[in-house]
A and B are shown apart, each in its own frame.
Chain A
Amino acid sequence: MKIASAEGNKARRARPGEAVILFCISNQTFAIAADAVQEIRSTDSLGGAAIEIEQAEVPKVRHLVERAKRTYYVVSGCAHFGLKLTRPTLVLILRQIRAAILVDSIERMAEISKLHALPRGFEGDERKWYRGLAYLEDRVIPVIYPGGFLTTEEFVRLDHATAVSAGVPQLEGAAR
């Protein structure tokens, strides 16, 4: 009995934390699960591959990129979180959803042992933005919910806008 109990305690102590990437947007630090990010690219290296899309319904999205035969909508992190506009240098291409996020810099990788629930006093959009809060080295850092960057409705609007704009050159060509 004692041995089993000791092993149980050891297992609890040894429970692995969650690997996260700490990144900055407009001097604000955020965390995102490392396994939610497929790729990190510099905006310079992606510049040629980014296609500008003309639509006003989702103002935080101005470009799309094609990666591995998938279309990713590029979301301005500043616009998404309502932060002061900065010049992003990196793009986080997400794994689960067709979105890529413009960020200023990567701070570092870290491991969080506990995800604190967002207090219920927070009642605004942040409930969609964050999975919870991490307390890391005397800092409280919001942990991003990747699915919060674009809603299903926004994807539909963007897909529609992209299809329309892609169709324009064909129509123009047909008219000639």
Chain B
Amino acid sequence: MGATDMNGADSADAKHSYVLLRVGNRRFALRAELVEELAPPVKLHRFPNTTALVAGVIVRRGRIVPVYDVSRVLCGRESSVHRFYLVARRKFGKESEASAIPVNGECELANSEWVAGRSDDAAYFAGSLQVGDEEIKVLNLESLVSGAATAAPGDGPSEVRP
């Protein structure tokens, strides 16, 4: 079995299970082993912070889980409608933390062949899947939710998000 990180897909062993999720009008894929649960639209608690993409937190099973509004990166705007939170593990060194992404529509499981990404793909994409006629990008969760996905050269300090 090839080396695998927690976010991307390895080239040596390309067939994995993926959760297909919908953000905005597009579908994306995330390695199934990263996904903890699909949570209902529980209350989003907001408080001031300056971290890019963090919209607030939800409470799941006694834990406080940060919510990343990745639609700003993936679709270019904040999501106005979502039905669920996809809770996945984000890696921090040797440890990991539950992290939530607002998704709309139901998620499904797929076992499709992974295809390596193109050189011009954004860093938060880790290849793609061919599901029927549709090419679905595989998300690299760590790259996606870290500030790197939103920071552009010359950007000033992050705006406070209450």
Contacts and interface: CB of A to CB of B under 8 A. Distances in A.
Given A119-B97, A140-B47, A28 B162 contact: yes
A121 to B, nearest CB: 4
Interface residues of A, number: 23
Contacts of B47: 28, 30, 126, 140-142
A140 B57 contact: yes
A72 B1 CA distance: 63
Interface in A129-163: 129, 133, 135, 138-142
Interface in A48-83: 81-83
Contact of B64 (A28, A83, A123, A135): A135
B59 A135 contact: yes
Contacts of A120: 92, 97
B59 A122 contact: no
Q: How large is the interface on B (under 10, 10 to 19, 20 to 34, 35 or more residues)?
A: 20 to 34
Interface stretch (B14-22, B48-56, B103-111): B48-56
A123 B49 CA distance: 9
A47 interface: no
B51 A122 contact: yes
B43 interface: yes
Given A119-B57, A135-B59, A126 B51 contact: yes
Nearest to B44: A140
B99 interface: yes
B31 to A, nearest CB: 19
B64 A119 contact: yes
A81 B48 contact: yes
Nearest to A124: B50
7 contacts: A26-B162, A28-B48, A83-B160, A122-B54, A125-B49, A135-B59, A140-B57
Interface of B: 43, 45, 47-52, 54, 57, 59, 64-66, 68, 90, 92, 97, 99, 145, 147, 158-160, 162
Interface of A: 26, 28, 30, 81-83, 116, 119-126, 129, 133, 135, 138-142
